[in-house]
Structure 1
């Protein structure tokens, strides 16, 4: 017994602190110096400019980011604020160890679970970027831990802490609510104790106290910061921000959801593949044993943990229904796998206990049992070796480069209207935080986060033209007014009367139809521009750049090249030069399906190269089988091959696949080739 206590003291007081210290060094080494992609630019910029991030506002993250950004270290703001994820991950691992030690009374397996979690891919990757997902793990672990403490002790202080943390967790990320039913399962053991006026009152006050960080939002919004989502200076606007009205309160984002049994099956398949790959197959098998072991030991706790997993994992993923149409959407969905994969690790120590008990029945000597158990320590070692390079973001710069390239080639005093998560938020960071191209006015398409410039221009236009009522063409007229003084560029152009959008790098220039540049001059300038830009090529990306968020960045460049090719073919009819730009796009990203489709369209429509077009369309369909691609393939058979047998067979194929006649579908489609 004395020896066991001594070993326990060594693990708790020496090995665990030492492990966390070393993990901290590894995490800080791998911490990003790059703005990465996704929502990172928004969160970092909001913290750096004392602003308000996208709905639900994330005030706790922003407040802590504001403080970290004041650190007197010679490192980029994204790295300073990224320390929040490092500290949150280390705190999460410590809480995990304490929680599992309390539940299992086994320090060795609690530490093994902690190390396995620390090197699992998703947990480690998001520990290296300033995002809300690792702090979310910390809050969830704390909520579950103090719920358990109340469950076992019936001490009211643990109940009040739990309720306070529930409120506080919602100021970081709303998905924390997915573990609240598990909290109810645990605390409901003492229902009679809870349902007294005093306990209910103090619980309500504790929950409200947890929401207090939202006071930051109207204070920050009133200062008119560069990033000011929903301008939440009053209660209705604050509620709008908190409930995410811009996206839909109960929606995961502005996109067409996956639907149908097959698509939902694919979603579930992808989810489990990612989770199992992240934690490793051996870990997942141990977790399954742990599920069985906890079921035998305590049905209520088993139900609480299993409920937390299913609600935050399979059920949420099915409800969110992310359309897995490209790498970026995969990346967005992958972030939401972290919570459930981490909750799964709560079963890990119980699985190890079951394995140990089984080994004791097999081997008569304890030393043989311990020798076999030593092999399981290879799991975190394996994860470390496999994931170190993938999570070493210390040397990447692809996110910064994207934003710099969006700004670098614009003329002085231009207006850049940006659209699309990564390019918008990365440009914000480079422009507002790193102070790149201060002469340029950056406007977000839709204007959710910053409407100051366009508001002033609209006000000026109305005053100059004595307009009082809303004009349906107000925006178009305001842009025309601005264009008299500044060059205007859109990353995602919109159709405007009398205006042609002339591609220039990652954006397109607002140009009256009678001012289209000369063919030779334009093509020459674009070739020089793209040569100077040196776009990142997908095949040359480092391992750390091959995660699902930054893997999408080359597509921004490929898309710019395809738009350039389209402009050349539509305005100059120069098939040779258009094909040059399409092929440049494919050199950057060989998996960019649109480049194959646009190349094929020129081949069969302009050059009569039916077979070459068919090959490129097949490549596009193998990458992304979109319905419009099937239509274009049919047009190739009909207008280029002119082979009645091929036309008949493909028409029948289309009818079986989509339950619709292809000719009727084409008539319904007004923009088949877009």
Structure 2
């Protein structure tokens, strides 16, 4: 009874802490897709995440006034508070010390990565709940077996929740070696119990039950209906993630280079060091050694969980950690590792607790003070999670984060009425769709996911949703060739009927050209082009933006939030390039200044500033900008070449020009043998 009441208090406390930082806005990555699928009760991206969608539908339809994103993100806080409670009772089962359990669970709760995903919804929070539940029931079953009072239902529940986890997120299958190991160590004769094995398998298969929701969701034909799994072929393709690669995180990010694979392990260590601090690493290694010496079976169980879900998986998946977007995707996959990392920390804290208690007892030896020993040590140890909370909460507080909503709005605001908008990229597509579907404005636009037009089911959906589109011949073909084929058909068929905009796809169309329009590119007749109109167009578009102050301080930035800023940044660079090409350098500087104010540590704006200054014979400014370019990227040999040109053609200093030219050639040769220099 006491534990139940304590669990309630722990849940309430952590939920309220998480609640304070919940984002009112859509975030980045595929969070927008999860939110909309939940809100519509549709089919999310493969494998569909039906359990997530059903729970999300409840949260997004709660009867109180708030944004759809806030209600969805509220579910993240709710689930992560449950995870902390599960971690607490797991540690309590393993160590039999409520004080160590609470300190350890709160350390996990207040790590930056955990706090971040308590403020924005994704599919990983529910996976953590299901995995933690399966681990709890597994250690509970082991406890009953060791006490000679076996309760087989705990093992059935282990299998059931693990099945839910595996069918929810395939990475949970990586727990198989650890689960099998602990089961065999607990009951050596279990493999002889054929009926029991069959029952466990059936309970595992019950985890598939949420997928019976998928055909119903597909039948409803909501706007979020990936792969249209209304028939068996599409249903199988969805749940096996055939479009992404069944056994990879995504078909376009699977890496094979050994350096790239080893970089994953280094990155994981750096993340753990940054989030758990050196203190956390010290507690981990202490617990690692202590559990090995005193709790050998549990040591190997936790080791197998941590190794397979962390280093081994990351080594296999090999995300290309080349920019903030991919790093932001990568970090979500290490959440499961954090859970098992914390279990070792708990053993380390347990050892410290025992030693500290023994030390204090020397000074409080009277029997009337014995009850103070545990309390005194706990009050000292609780300072660790308190420090984590104070140190980390501001980094992940998204209560004033609006960039996701701003991006979606500003992409739509970059267009005119009755236009077609071709979107490419997760953050761009899902944030724009979120704003489009959850608001009443911009409803006359037609949003097209350019990257999946090769899927006939999606083309059929477009025809249903936008009945006034001109449908080209062959648009209903079963051919699953590149999306570009169907994009070209669609553009050519509708070019005279609707204004057409795109983010990335700028195919050549006879008599037309793509011109900058805010964050997008607009298809425009070449004969109608007027460079002064280009200036007026973008002035008008930017006046409609929600994100206007590019120099504002956002404080601590997460990877995916930084990626949103990069989308604006490269749009500003693109506009500046077009203005420079049309001999409007003075106007271009305005956009370059905005780009520098937005992301001061990227080099592209300085390159263009340097070129403009060089063309105007402003030697000092040109040198300053190219030097800044090289300062930001020490591998940029072209910056050294540019400096050589400045000294040779502007300062007329041949000695300095030769020095920089030779330095550039030397650096270029050095880099030619380092294809993975970014690592």
Residue in structure 2 matched with residue 135 of structure 1 by the alignment:
126
8 Å Cα contact 1:443-1:453 kept in structure 2: no
Paired residue for 2:322? 325
User: Equivalents in 1 of 2:99, 2:201: separation in Å?
Assistant: 39
Post-superposition Cα deviations, 1:53-88, rounded to whole Å, max 9, x if no partner, equal 112211111111112222211112222222322221
User: Is structure 2 residue 208 aligned with structure 1 residue 211?
Assistant: yes
Please say which of residues 267-276 and 225-234 is displaced more in the overlay.
Answer: 267-276
Change (3 A) 1:473 1:528: closer
The yes-or-no answer on 1:657 pairing with 2:667 is no
Structure 1 residues 242 and 617, CA gap change in structure 2 (3 angstroms): farther
Q: Secondary structure at the match of 2:451?
A: coil
Normalised by the length of structure 2, the TM-score is: 0.87
- Give 2:528's aligned residue: 515
CA distance 1:458–1:73, change in 2 (3 Å): closer
Match of 1:596 in 2: 606
Q: Distance in 2 between matches of 1:23 and 1:468?
A: 51
Q: Distance in 1 between matches of 2:478 and 2:342?
A: 61
Distance 2:122 2:553 in 1: 22
Which digits, 9 at most, give the CA deviation of each residue in 1:358-380, with x for residues without a partner?
A: 33555552649654553211111
Listed one character per residue, the Cα deviations across residues 389-427 of structure 1 (whole Å, up to 9, x for unaligned) are: 333322322211111111124211111111111121111
Separation of aligned partners in 2, 1:623 and 1:132: 36
**Residue 44 (structure 1) shift:** 0.3
Q: Which residue of 2 aligns with 1:348?
A: 345
* Residue pairs, 1:398-477, within 5 angstroms: 398-447=403-452, 450-452=458-460, 454-455=462-463, 460-462=470-472, 475-477=487-489
Query: CA 1:452–1:404 in 2, change beyond 3 Å: closer, same or farther?
Result: farther
Which of 177, 182, 186 lines up with 2:182 in the alignment? 186
Written as runs of structure 1 = structure 2, the 5 A alignment for 1:305-316 is 305-316=302-313
**Does residue 334 in structure 1 map to residue 331 in structure 2?**
yes
Report the TM-score when normalising by structure 1: 0.87
Distance in 2 separating the partners of 1:45 and 1:613: 48
Q: Say which of 283, 293, 304 aligns to 2:280.
A: 283
Paired with 1:508 and 1:583, the residues of 2 have a C-alpha distance of 21
SS at match of 2:301: helix
2: CA distance, partners of 1:170 / 1:197: 23
Q: Secondary structure at the match of 2:168?
A: coil
1:136-285 equivalences under 5 Å are 136-152=127-143, 153=145, 155-189=151-185, 190-253=187-250, 255=252, 263-264=260-261, 266-285=263-282
Matched, 1:298 2:295: yes
- Who is 2:589 aligned against? 579
- Tell me the CA shift for residue 106 of structure 1: 0.8
SS in 2 for 1:127: coil
Does structure 2 conserve the Cα–Cα contact (< 8 Å) formed by 1:537 and 1:587? no
Name the CA distance, whole Å, in 1 between partners of 2:468 and 2:132.
49
Alignment match, 2:499: 487
Cα 1:649–1:294, aligned 2, differ >3 Å: closer, same or farther?
closer
1:548 aligns with 2:573: no
Q: Deviations over 1:543-581 (max 9, x none)?
A: 4x62222122222212111111122233x2333333332
**1:530 aligns with one of 539, 542, 555:** 542
The SS at the match of 1:437 is: coil
Instruction: Compare 54-63 and 272-281 and name the one that shifted more.
Output: 272-281
Structure 1 pair 280/536, CA: closer, same or farther in 2 (3 Å)?
Answer: farther
Residue aligned with 1:74, SS: coil
Tell me if structure 2 keeps the 8 A contact 1:476–1:496: no
CA distance in structure 2 between the aligned counterparts of 1:59 and 1:551, rounded to whole angstroms: 30
Distance 2:84 2:226 in 1: 33
The superposition leaves residues 604-636 of structure 1 with CA deviations (integer Å, 9 ceiling, x where unpaired) of 5x556677556545544554567xx53575466
For the structure 1 residues 610 and 653, does the alpha-carbon distance in structure 2 shift closer, same or farther, using more than 3 Å as the test?
farther
Q: How many angstroms apart in 2 are the aligned matches of 1:504 and 1:177?
A: 46
* Distance in 2 between residues matched to 1:633 and 1:564, nearest whole Å: 26
Structure 2 residue 370 is matched with structure 1 residue 357: no
Contact 1:53/1:62 (<8 A) preserved:
yes
1:63 is the counterpart of 2:54:
yes
Asked if 1:26 corresponds to 2:17, the answer is: yes
| Closer/same/farther in 2, CA of residues 286 and 620 from structure 1, 3 Å limit | same
**Alignment correspondent of 2:402:** 397
Q: CA deviation at 1:227?
A: 1.3
Gaps of 5+ in 1: 1-8, 662-674
How far is 1:466 from its partner? 13
CA offsets per residue over residues 292-329 of structure 1, 9 Å max, x none? 22112222211110111122222222333222222222
Question: Retained in 2: the 8 A contact 1:150–1:187?
Answer: no
Per the alignment, residue 565 of structure 1 pairs with 576
> What are the Cα deviations for residues 91-119 of structure 1, in whole angstroms up to 9, with x where unaligned?
21222222111111111111111222222
Equivalent residue in structure 1 for 2:41, among 44, 50, 68: 50
